[in-house]
A = this chain, B = another copy of it.
Amino acid sequence: MKIELRPIGIVHSPYKDKGDVPCCQKDRLEGIGEIEIYEEYADGLKDVEGFSHLIIVFIFHRSEGYSLHVKPYLDNKLRGVFVTRHPNRPNPLGLCIVELIERKGNRLRIKGLDMLDGTPIVDIKPYTHYDAKKNIKIGWLEGRARALEEIDQS
């Protein structure tokens, strides 16, 4: 079974290359950019103005192939790719939950993006209270969270 996706839009981002994306999540959450939905899909944005947060599903268009074990940023061990957000995945899908600042026609101004400029978008979904989980445990990422805090404080 194969499933074929087509982009519904494209990201306009201040991050032109991987090195431009801030390493601290805190800084990423401040990043502002735009999503342009192609005219033929723009009607699907009806009623989007009432939402504060959206889930963006995109393609890691610069990823080449995949590994099942990857070495994440700020970690010195190999981790299963499905417990990372690494771009080199069996299916090169990315996901980012962003704040919606403003809609202008087929363009959404968003905050908190970590996508590169030119990233193809394949879906947008509303973020709801049911997606905001409590009592979260993040396994190996605990160590990285501590490392990032040290960077933030230095």
Contacts and interface: CB of A to CB of B under 8 A. Distances in A.
Interface of A: 1-8, 25, 29, 37, 41, 43-55, 57, 59, 68-69, 78-85, 89-93, 95, 97, 99, 120, 122-142, 145
Contacts of A89: 123
Main secondary structure of the interface of A (DSSP, over half): mixed
A68 B44 contact: yes
- Copies of this chain, complex-wide, total 2
Residue from A120, A133, A137 whose CB has the most chain B CB atoms within 10 Å: A133
A96 to B, nearest CB: 10
A82 B145 CA distance: 32
B29 A130 contact: yes
Contact of A47 (B41, B46, B83): B83
A139 B48 contact: yes
A126 B97 contact: no
B3 A92 contact: yes
17 contacts: A1-B120, A2-B4, A8-B90, A41-B68, A48-B80, A50-B140, A50-B142, A52-B137, A52-B138, A82-B126, A85-B125, A85-B126, A91-B122, A97-B133, A127-B133, A128-B141, A129-B136
